[in-house]
Amino acid sequence: MSICLTDMRTSAEKGRSEYEEAGEVVWDINTKDKIVALTFDDGPHPKYTAKILDTLAKYEAKATFFIIGQNAEKYPELVSRTYKEGHELANHTYSHPYKVSIPDLQEELRQTNQMIYSITGFSPVLFRPVGGNYTEKMINTAVKNGYKVVMWSWHQDTQDWKEPGTSKIVQKVLGGTKPGDVILFHDGGGNRTQTIKALEEIIPTLKKQGYTFVTVSELIEKKQQQEKIQ
């Protein structure tokens, strides 16, 4: 079972506002529109990703999947299905290293991009660092390679990888959902049964509250549209 370190540690020299103003990193967006982005890390997984896709289809919800290249290589049919069903594919490195040199990061990004492209014909434009840990050099490397770095809303880390219980995952999300949130889940790296059960409560509840589920790129596009109007 993989462990995801999501305590936001970083040795980057810039603050969040500087990265956001430069358009290099996104955590969430400020909007009045009731839209949120569901994101899933560490897949695809033959059991859990398939069930999550079934759930998303049931409620007509779109999501963004941050894919590990090695897993994409093992389960190309799931990558293809995810893409064909209208979800966004994003880069989460090839081997999921918690520590990585800049040359190795470049190769990890390249391998994963190549793998996803070979399966779908689509080249990812989003990258999420493993465990949410990054340095300024990592951000610069990703940006130079054509990626926007995607984190998540600080109040929307479900920590589902810890298997805290379905109710805690549900409470974490529903207790603080705001328009423009990026919500962090996992579809790989361990037993994701609780995540799937939580989604069965989270998605319909938010839909009743008037929320629409969009991809991260759609969320970013909304931000750009708002900035043009201002």
- Residue 214 contacts by C-beta under 8 Å, 6 or more apart in sequence? 35, 36, 37, 62, 222
Burial 71-91 (b: 16+ CB within 10 A, else e): bbbebbebbbbbbeeebbbbb
Closest CA relative to residue 184, chosen from 197, 166, 193, 172: 172
157 is catalytic: no
Adjacent-strand bridge partners of 67: 43, 91
C-beta separation of 10 from 134 below 8 A? yes
Note if 186 is an active site residue: yes
Catalytic residue (choose from 87, 92, 96, 186): 186
Rounded CA-CA distance 129/48 in Å is 22
First-to-last alpha carbon distance for the chain, in angstroms, is: 46
Query: Per the residue annotation, which of 28, 41, 42, 160 is the catalytic one?
Result: 41
Distance, CA of 122 to CA of 120 (rounded, Å): 5
Catalytic residues: 41, 186
